[in-house]
Each structure stands twice: as structure tokens, then as C-alpha cells.
Structure 1
Amino acid sequence: MYCTYQQDNWDILLPLAEFTYNNAPNASTGVSPFFANKGYHLNITVHPEYHLASQKAHNYVSNLDDVHQFLCDEIKAAQEVGQQVYILAKHIKMTQLTKELSEKYLGSYTIIAQPSSNAFTIQLPDYLSGIHSIFHIFQLKLFHPSEIPNCTEPPPPLVEIDDEGEPYYEISEILDSKLDQ
């Protein structure tokens, strides 16, 4: 469920997304936040056979169950063990001169565990051994393979980490330099 291109309907969709999140089972507790607070699951089953005041209201209510089920499925499938994800490179110190021209995400890497509802353990390669392998869900982006047939994306440049956890690169040559006064 997404906003329109003009982004003018988010306020209508927000209560549905909030309800779905609060009524979906949490991975760590096994129950929904609503059930944890109230002791029961809220049921919004719609009965289209009842007479509604307007056709617009009837269409809205008939579609509500489908939207709720879609959002539940999306929440469950957001990130799961075994999926490929990118790691946000914002908090990983690089030796490149500018962050603007650096890679925004590193990876893709495999999720190997979910220690909590909002953190995932990532299988990192040996050259990233200085980085902690557990990442918050906001630092991950789901990997989507290229939809263009027979097209492969070039791998990102290797990031090497030294003994203090700082990344370093092997420099082949210096092309130019500038000293700021």
C-alpha cells in the first residue's frame, strides 16, 4: 500500500497501517501489541451484506479486509532470516574523501538470525570482521535483484577494516592533490 504520486493520501492510509501494525503478531513476543495491551485481537470483519448508507462507504468497507491482509503480509515479509540485504554505509567510516560520492549501501549480505524484533544478525565477509554483525532494521535495505535479463550489477568496492576497526584501501597511484590553507 503506497501513497499516490502526489503524496496527498498518506493521512488516509496512516490509520490503516497503524491498525495493521498493532494487530500483527510481533516476532519476539508472538502476540500483537494490541493483544498484549487489551488481551484480545480486534476483529474488523466486514459484512458487505448489511445495507450501508452510500455506495462509496460500501466500496471502502469491502476493500478494508484486503488492505488489512496485504499489510499483515508485508509486515511479516519485511525482512526474514535467509534474505539478502544491503547495509547502510552511513555509520561505517570509510577512507574516501567525500561521503557524497561513496557507496550509500554495502552488500548484499545474508540475514542469519533475528535476535530481536528490530535487529538482525548479518553474515559479514572476513574483510568486515571489525564491524559488529548485528544491525538495526533501519540500517538495512532489502536486496532486489536486477529485473533486466542477463544483466549483472558490478560488485561494490571492497571495504577493508584494520586492527582498530578502521577501513583502509590499497592505493595504486595518486592522481592529484590539493592543500587547503
Structure 2
Amino acid sequence: MIIELYGCPGCGKTYLIQRITGQTNTVAMSDSNIKNMLINIAKKTSLLSPKSMRLNRKILSCVKNENDKPLYVNKVVEYFVRNIVLLSFGYRHIKKDMFMAEGLVHRVVSMAVNFGWNSDVVDRIMLVLSDEMKDVHPFYLEVDVETCFRSIKERNRHETQMDELDDKNLRSFLKEYEKLFSYVTDNYNFEKVTRDDYRPIEEVIK
């Protein structure tokens, strides 16, 4: 079973995972841990498998007529698609319960935000990923934009291009995330949680 937490940058996904896994036996997977595990898997099974290559082509086909100029983070479309395909590959081969702070839902929305794509594009990509999502339980960690904005500013990291956005662009960035996450949550009937009320997740992992 895979539990995905998705939500605006700065909403506290990693914090909530640490809080929950302190009370359960479910394995928490940080981005660095999952990447290391996927690298080890890739040594045994090629990422250029026919299924991965087909998935890559299908996602690119979904967005071939869309804007490909980044609005916030200077990464090309292929970069985001490769990350989605890599994670999908991992989901097919990792046989343990785990949490993902930035799983497939988060990565699809992140790509859409960065290129200014609308919900129709998100729907097309989510349809392509329907098989990969069969055993995934996504939860929206709902935190308002201003709280996320303050969290990002207070932690004062300089690790990603997002951290270097000025205040106006950072707020715009977060609002676009919030808009698409709200759409995805409502359209796919995913459940919402907050930092203080995450009972729906606890019900799933009992």
C-alpha cells in the first residue's frame, strides 16, 4: 500500500509523515530515500523497459500541444515526465507499505503549475497513470496559501529554484498549486487532511 500526501510547498507534508509514522509501523519514505531505493532497483531492472518507455511517450503525447516554457522553475517538460515515469516504475516494483511526500499526484500538479497548464491537461495525464494509481491512497494536506508562504520564508532554505522566487511570484506559484490541488481532490474524490486532523489516513493504515 502506498499513501501519497500532496499539498502546496511549505504545507508540512514531511512533518505530518514523521508525526504519523511515530505512531505506526508504516515505513516513511523521504525523497532521498526513495531515490536511493529506485536507483538500486534500476540496477536490476532497466528503466528503459517497454512499459516505462510507453508511459513516457503517452505522457508526452498528452502535453505535446501545450506550453513548454517554464513559468517558475527552469526545468524542461521532459525532466518532469522522467521523474513521473521513474516513480511509476518504483511503484510497480516496491513491495512494502510506505508514505510518499511527493508522489504521482503531486508531481503531475507540479508539472502543470510550472507550465501553466489547466485541469484538462491534468486529467489527461491522470488517465494515463490510472494503472499506476490503483494501489495508491492519495490525501490532500490542506493548508492555506499564506501559511505555506510564511513557512517557506521562515525556513529560509536555498535548495531549489522555488526558494529564490520573489514574494509576488512565490504567492502566485502557491495559488496555482492550491487551485489545481483543490480541483484534483474534488474531481477524484480524494480525502482531505490537516496537520491536526489526519484520521482518514489512520483509518487506512490500521
TM-score relative to the length of structure 2: 0.18
Q: Give 1 or 2: higher strand fraction.
A: 1
* Structure of greater Rg: 1
- Highest RCO, 1 vs 2 (Cα 8 Å, sep ≥ 6): 2
TM-score relative to the length of structure 1: 0.20
